[in-house]
């Protein structure tokens, strides 16, 4: 159930629902929007014009029946979520408490509560009050470390960092083709080690002083299409059981 019901006879609620739909996908056809809103394509055009009159950059794109898109960076109203999306946010932040060092998850819950509409704020507050992470330990991943690795992954940059393995040995690493993985309650980085000329998996809690550098070679995508199977079979070296 959404915070704004798509009621055909309620222009204000329907317009807000239209805005929510436009933020959910890069582009919609007029017929798709009409079906979602249970109105005619002509009414969709009027509602789009109403949004444009309120200052929202809704663009018309060519195509059969017309297509509409919200220009990236457009000014947005207070956050509009569906109930299941609020549940997903609370669950994800509770799990993150067992991954990240510090209180970032708690601060994020507090800020979300402050910006959500009243009804959704109640949904979030009830979910937060009725849940907790009972692992007993806080995580060991510094959010800034994960941010640096995600930047290297997203922009295909060479990454340098200090790594302490499970035996306490400290080495300096230089990698590319980074991909961050969440598995079994921990974050890992899969990357091609440039000095070893081979793929390696690093536990993020043991990564220190990450620094992104020059663009990677772009030659390496991923060691296997199915990474879960590849990891479970010792980098593909033994048969799947």
CATH number for 65 = 1.10.10.10
Let me know if residue 78 belongs to a domain.
Answer: no
**Any domain includes 37:** yes
Mean pLDDT in consecutive groups of 10 residues from the start of the chain, 241 residues: 47 82 86 90 89 82 74 64 87 85 85 82 90 75 89 93 94 94 85 93 93 89 83 75 62
Same domain, 163 and 205: yes
Q: Is 228 found in the same domain as 148?
A: yes
In a domain, residue 134? The reply is: no
Indicate if 124 and 147 belong to the same structural domain: no
Name the 3-class secondary structure at 230.
helix
Which CATH number characterizes residue 163's domain?
A: 2.30.30
Mark which of 32, 47, 70 sits at the end of a domain: 70
- In-domain check, residue 77: no
The token duo for 194 is 């440039």
Alpha-carbon 16 to chain mean position: 23
The SS3 call for residue 64 is coil
Domain carrying residue 110 = 83-129
Q: Does residue 6 belong to any structural domain of this protein? A: no
Contacts of 7 (CB under 8 A, 6+ apart): 13, 14
Supply the pLDDT for residue 3: 41
Instruction: Look at residues 78, 72, 66 and name the one whose alpha carbon lies nearest to residue 16.
Output: 78
Task: Indicate whether 182 belongs to any domain.
Answer: yes
241 domain residue, yes or no: no
How many domains are there within the chain? Answer: 3
Same domain as 168, residue 122: no
């Amino acid at each position: 159930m959404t915070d704004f019901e798509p009621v055909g006879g309620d222009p204000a609620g329907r317009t807000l629902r239209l805005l929510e739909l436009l933020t959910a996908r890069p582009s919609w056809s007029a017929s798709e929007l009409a079906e979602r809103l249970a109105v005619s394509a002509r009414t969709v055009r009027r509602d789009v014009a109403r949004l444009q009159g309120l200052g929202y950059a809704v663009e018309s794109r060519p195509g059969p029946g017309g297509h509409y898109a919200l220009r990236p960076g457009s000014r947005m109203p207070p956050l509009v979520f569906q109930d299941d999306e609020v549940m997903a946010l609370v669950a994800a932040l509770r799990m993150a408490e067992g991954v990240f060092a510090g209180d970032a998850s708690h601060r994020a819950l507090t800020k979300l509560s402050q910006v959500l509409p009243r009804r959704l704020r109640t949904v979030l507050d009830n979910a937060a009050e009725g849940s907790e992470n009972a692992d007993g330990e806080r995580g060991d991943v510094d959010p800034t470390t994960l941010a640096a690795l995600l930047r290297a992954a997203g922009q295909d940059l060479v990454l340098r960092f200090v790594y302490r393995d499970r035996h306490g040995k400290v080495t300096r690493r230089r990698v590319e083709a980074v991909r961050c993985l969440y598995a079994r309650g921990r974050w890992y980085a899969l990357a091609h080690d440039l000095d070893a000329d081979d793929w390696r998996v690093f536990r993020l809690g043991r990564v220190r002083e990450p620094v992104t550098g020059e663009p990677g070679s772009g030659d390496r995508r991923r060691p296997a299409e199915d990474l879960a199977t590849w990891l479970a079979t010792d980098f593909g070296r033994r048969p799947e059981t």
